[in-house]
Chains A and B, each alone.
Chain A
Amino acid sequence: MDLSIEVDSSTSIVSSINAQQGEERNKMPVPSKISRIAQIRLVNCHPEVYEPCDDSFALVDALLADRTNLLEHQPRLCLEVGCGSGYVITSLALILGQESNGVHYFATDINPHAVEVTRKTLEAHGVQAEVICTDIASGLATRLEGMVDVLVVNPPYVPTPEEEVGCDGITAAWAGGEDGRSVIDRILPVADKLLSDRGCLYMVTLTANNPLQICLLMREKGYASRIVVQRSTEEESLHVIKFWRDADVEVKEPNRTSPTGTESWLSQFSRFPFWRNSNS
């Protein structure tokens, strides 16, 4: 049985905006409308920090595609877990606006070089976010419980040997352990704790991570889900999935045995909107 999702390689909004920024640079002044996301030339780098790549662009594309929705919900606190170069949190801050709009940003990374690079990238774009060096949201999760309106995560999702997970330096940016799920599976309960009633999570996943099963796990916590961006690159098939609390989703008891038979799997999946869409 093939449970993979149809992937269409849509044109990246980000690449076209970056191209536009390139063209606009020759004309002065640069219209502010164009600078809605971080500019690659202003993103700092470091040999031990993950540079913006297809997955980062896909995530920013998803945020741009969902911008109207995001603004309608009037987010107050936004958090990026695993901010790396700072490309995504900077873009989010440019998309949603800053203090005058009443929006504030937090960004965390386990890599001390990454938080430093993120700080510089934010500064280069003239936007502010609170940057914290920590593992996922350790130290924040207690007090920030139920307060995060937008959570964005480009997790380490590459399947690797378990011992590479959480290593020093850049390895932590991609090493995801078995099925690339080790860190993702630690992030999901933290996300559930942090998100406000109207909060939503945008997360990048790889087909190898079994995104449908991730959606099922979140469904058991009361979340609906939708694929915002799907993209095939030479090396991987990426999905950016949005999760949000949905009153219509029945919250299952913890420790409940998951259905294992083929038919029950399929009947679960068929309730997901994107699953229906990909079949229609």
Chain B
Amino acid sequence: MRLLTHNMLSSNIKGVTNGFPLRLQVEKSVEKEVDLNPDFLKNIFPKIEWKALVDASHALGYPELPDDAEPSMLDSHDFLKKFHHALLELHVEEGALICPETGRNFPINKGIPNMLLHEDEV
């Protein structure tokens, strides 16, 4: 699971109003290098919750992202490289996503988060 996905997932338990961001618990992570596409990063940037990305990348041991980001920073190649690395190259293999409101644990196994709910949560 990439941090792009982490940034797009929220707790889907019935009645939860504050389900984002899910707290990331990392047991095992990997890095997979992929080509950088500046257009993709510039287009996705406005949709990214920056603080959630920064916190998640810290959980993965990558502290390079600035605490705050604004669109003008997208002109810097150095910034794009760091944004790209955090968003698309860091993968959580084993761990969990934790609902910020209920503390419910959604496991991540072999890189796949399991968001299935129990009957009483739907």
Q: Given the known A-B contacts A99-B37, A102-B39, are A131 and B112 also in contact in the complex, defined by CB atoms under 8 Å?
A: yes
- Residues of chain B within 8 A of A112, CB atoms compared: 114, 116
CB distance from A72 to the nearest CB of B (A): 15
Q: Is A245 an interface residue (CB 8 A)?
A: no
Residues of B within 8 A of A147 (CB): 47
Q: Indicate whether A106 sits within 8 Å of B116 (C-beta atoms), given known contacts A76-B40, A134-B12.
A: no
Contact B34–A99 (Cβ < 8 Å):
yes
Q: Is the CB of A140 within 8 A of B112?
A: no
Interface: B8 (CB within 8 A): yes
CA distance A181 to B48 in the complex (A): 35
A76-B44, A102-B40, A104-B4 known; A132-B112 Cβ under 8 A? yes
Q: Per-position contact with B for A142-174: 1 when CB-CB < 8 Å, else 0?
A: 111001000000000000000000000000000
Least CB distance, B47 to chain A, in whole angstroms: 6
- The interface residues of chain B lying within 8 Å CB-to-CB of A138 are 12, 115, 117
Q: Does A124 contact B (CB under 8 A)?
A: no
Minimum Cβ distance to chain A for residue B90 (Å): 13
Interface residues on B, range: 20 to 34
Whether A232 sits at the interface, judged by CB under 8 Å, is no
- Does A227 belong to the interface (CB within 8 Å)? no
Q: Tell me if A119 is interfacial: C-beta within 8 Å of chain B.
A: yes
Q: Which residue of A lies closest to B38 (CB)?
A: A102
Per CB-CB distance, the 8 closest pairs between chain A and chain B, nearest first, are: A102-B40, A100-B35, A102-B37, A134-B115, A139-B115, A139-B12, A99-B34, A133-B114
B interface list, Cβ under 8 A from A: 1-2, 4-5, 7-12, 19-20, 32, 34-35, 37, 39-40, 43-44, 47, 49, 88, 110-117
Known: A100-B35, A142-B20, A147-B47. 9 other contacts (CB 8 A): A99-B35, A100-B34, A102-B40, A130-B4, A132-B9, A132-B113, A138-B117, A139-B9, A139-B10
